[in-house]
Amino acid sequence: MAERQRPRRLLRLVQEGRLHLLRDELHPEDIPEARSRRWGRLGDTLLHHAARLGHRDVLEFLVRELGMDVEVANGDYKRPIHEAASMGHGECVSFLLEWGASVDCLKKGDWTPLMMACTRKNLEVIRSLVEHGANPLLRNKDGWNCFHIASREGHPEVLRYLLDVSPGIWDTESTTRRTPLHTAAMHGCSQVVELLLERCHYSPDSRDKCGVTPFMDAIQNGHLDIARMLLEKHQEGHGHTILTLLSLGADLQAQDGKSRSALHAAVAGQQAEATRILLRAGLRDTPDGSGTLAQQLARKPEVIQVFQESQVTT
């Protein structure tokens, strides 16, 4: 092997997880450079590559036999435990924690390994970090904690676990005052929204810095099943929300996959004021995919009266 090709060859063996060849080809004189060598724009070490790709045996070799530091950071202050957690490599995370890796170390943007782990569904990794003392309440530079991140990713099983170990974790806002409910509604995570409405206590009209509510996020992004859930859960207070939607030029004529409109959602939730505003805005009562008109869903007298008043007006 040409001298200048040796470092690249060692990197490839680490990336491929070929520990036996790595042992054979790593000469004693290569060890100091292997420990300190950096690759790529961010300056990743061999340890970063092994952790990112989930090669536990290679990781252990680099730490135990080469003496590499489990706390080594790249240009983004990312440590090997960030890499392993972000990719859901449980064995690598466990090994690094056993060797003293800081459980709440921060990378660029103030992301912890637990936050990185919550971008995936791997509950084993999340549980391991928490059991080793990770603080679920820490927030990154945008004000998001790990619960907020899991809400964006749509992982109800992760959220249930986080609520079990930290019951008040849901009560959080980003720096722009967006809650996990805003985020789940915007990204169409219906199972998460259902869980948040069931186990948390968000205000029905909580507004971010731009005045946007979770209901508005759902409507504006075409997630009418979520908008319907929000209307059914919160019986009052959406009249002003819809007026704001109208002022923003939102497409209230949008329909979901079953041809149900926002009017169907409002009436299904027995929202008299919401129904009145939608009808006054010109939203026509057209049949959904099953041939059902929104009016046919009206049960409360005040909602039935809204339709009667509308017919008189027209």
Enumerate domains of the chain plus CATH numbers: 1-100 (1.25.40.20), 189-314 (1.25.40.20)
Q: What is the pTM of this model?
A: 0.76
R_g (Cα) of the chain, nearest Å: 26
CA–CA gap between residue 56 and residue 51 (Å, rounded): 7
pLDDT mean over 99-119? 97
* Mean per-residue pLDDT over the chain, rounded: 87
CA–CA gap between residue 243 and residue 269 (Å, rounded): 18
Reported for 94-99, long-range contacts at CB under 8 A and 24+ positions apart, including other chains, are: 94/128, 95/56, 95/59, 95/60, 95/63, 96/51, 96/59, 96/70, 97/128, 97/129, 97/132, 99/63, 99/70
For residue 194, the surrounding DSSP H or E stretch is helix 190-199
CA–CA gap between residue 130 and residue 52 (Å, rounded): 20
Residue holding tokens 């002022």? 247
- Residue 240: per-residue pLDDT: 55
- Residue 273: per-residue pLDDT: 76
Structure tokens at 113: 């390994």
Q: Please say whether the beta carbons of 244 and 282 come within 8 A.
A: no
Structure tokens at 199: 């186990």
What does the chain come to in residues? 314
Q: Is the pLDDT of residue 19 over 90?
A: yes
Say which DSSP state 268 is in: H
pLDDT tens, position by position, 112-156: 999 999 999 899 999 999 999 999 999 999 999 999 999 999 999
Would you place residue 14 in the very low, low, confident or very high pLDDT band (cuts 50, 70, 90)? very high
